[in-house]
Amino acid sequence: MFSFMRIRSAVRFTCLLSLFAASLIATQVQAIEEFPLGKKTIYLQGNDDSEFFFGHVEFSKASDGTITYALDIDTERLKDFFLSMKEMKCLEGKEIWCFIPYPYEHPNHVSASDLRWLEHDLLFMHKALNAFGANLWNGIYYAMEVKEGKILGVAKAVDLNYIAGPPDDLSTPPYGEYDIGETETTARWLPFIEIR
């Protein structure tokens, strides 16, 4: 009787373990299936429902299952600004919104739960229309998530001086959660990004 009870408990534990493993695998497969593969369009969006076409990104699934991406930014739509001895490509509206390309090589891969490299490739700096020069501590970092077949992002604050020199480990995104702060989205011109 005692042995039978132990066997039954072991079988029950094994079944629960199998169910957990199957659920975990199903969740990972679902996350990959939900990722919006193919060529997508990038839009920067304002609080007033306005949006600006910014370019394209193409997501591809590699043979090892990882998802890579290639950006194609439409720089023709951006205006040249010479700020603090640097030429920058910017949008001009309620603020000056300058694109700051991530300057170092990196593994351009993403997943449904980790969009950090794409976030690093879409960094911006905001500047008031009447402000002099460029203040790189006014960085914009769009924190993104995959939702209903789209990638949606909200502006956060970062100091772009942090990437003035290359990170020690080029394979790890340099901006971590403690480097990214909140920003008042209602005070910003283009606080949202949508990739669809």
Tens place of pLDDT per residue across the chain (196 aa): 545 454 445 445 444 444 444 444 444 444 444 899 999 999 999 999 899 999 999 999 998 989 999 999 998 889 999 886 678 999 999 999 999 999 999 999 999 999 999 999 999 999 999 988 889 999 999 999 999 999 999 999 999 999 999 999 999 999 999 999 999 999 999 999 999 9
68 and 165: one domain?
yes
Same domain, yes or no: 29 and 88: no
Q: Are residues 157 and 184 both part of a single domain? A: yes
C-alpha angle with apex 101: 83 to 174, nearest 5 degrees? 115
* Pair 69, 101 in one domain: yes
The domain of 54 spans: 36-195
pLDDT at site 83: 81
Indicate if 109 and 12 belong to the same structural domain.
Answer: no
Q: Indicate if 29 and 108 belong to the same structural domain.
A: no
How many structural domains comprise the chain?
Answer: 2
Indicate whether 70 and 139 sit together in one domain: yes
Do 107 and 92 share a domain, yes or no? yes
> In terms of domains, do 91 and 166 share one?
yes
Regarding whether 183 and 97 lie in a shared domain, the answer is: yes
Residues 86 and 127 in one domain: yes
